[in-house]
Amino acid sequence: MLSIRPFRPEDAPRIREITVACFDGVSIDQNIERLLGVVADLPWQARKAAQVEEDCRVHPEGVFVAVVANDVAGYVTTRVNPSTRTGWIPHLAVDPRFRGRGIARALLAHAQDYLRERGMVTAKIETLEQNATAASLFPKLGFREVARQIHYIKPLGPEMEKE
């Protein structure tokens, strides 16, 4: 049985584990690492996990976990901007062992309810072009593409120059 509950600090290790498993192949940080190598002695997994940990630190009340049989199966993070009334869903991930059960849809529905309750009138979410799963799911749930963005990276010192 699936339940969705607020994030608890003790969920952090499991969220980190899910992040590393889910963002392999669909992370800007991994793309950067492929191009430049490990940045600042932090592999892409640590860099991506740090982004999710920042969501949990900055807006913990907007982080929710999906629980199946007492195991955290996935999570969603949110941010609110009361001045623009646009909510943001920065991270969504479901452990590969639990995929295909509607957990991502349930987490997104929960996140949207949370954003609505806080007065947001729009919700934005983004994905990389290389993330076919998300690029397929989001439009099915009513999200509409509004823009494409290109990310660039430049080494700022000789320690990042690849030979």
Span 29-74, pLDDT tens digits? 999 999 999 999 999 999 999 999 999 999 999 999 999 999 999 9
Task: Answer whether residue 12 shows pLDDT above 90.
Answer: yes
Task: Answer whether residue 112 shows pLDDT above 80.
Answer: yes
Place 157 in a pLDDT band, splitting at 50, 70 and 90.
confident
Pairing label, strands 86-94, 122-125:
parallel
Average pLDDT over residues 98-117: 97
Task: Answer whether residue 96 shows pLDDT above 90.
Answer: yes
pLDDT of residue 160: 77
Place 152 in a pLDDT band, splitting at 50, 70 and 90.
very high
Task: Answer whether residue 111 shows pLDDT above 70.
Answer: yes
Average pLDDT, the chain: 95
pLDDT of residue 162: 62
Residue type, 49: A
Average pLDDT over residues 11-25: 97
The alpha-helical segments, DSSP class H, found in the chain are 12-22, 28-36, 44-58, 103-117, 132-140
Indicate the class that CATH gives domain 2-141. alpha beta
Task: Say if residues 130 and 151 touch (Cβ distance below 8 Å).
Answer: no
Q: Where are the domains of the chain?
A: 2-141
Phi, psi of 131, rounded to the nearest 5 degrees: -95, 80
What tokens appear for 58 in the block? 């900055």
Write down the pTM of the prediction: 0.94
pLDDT of residue 77: 98
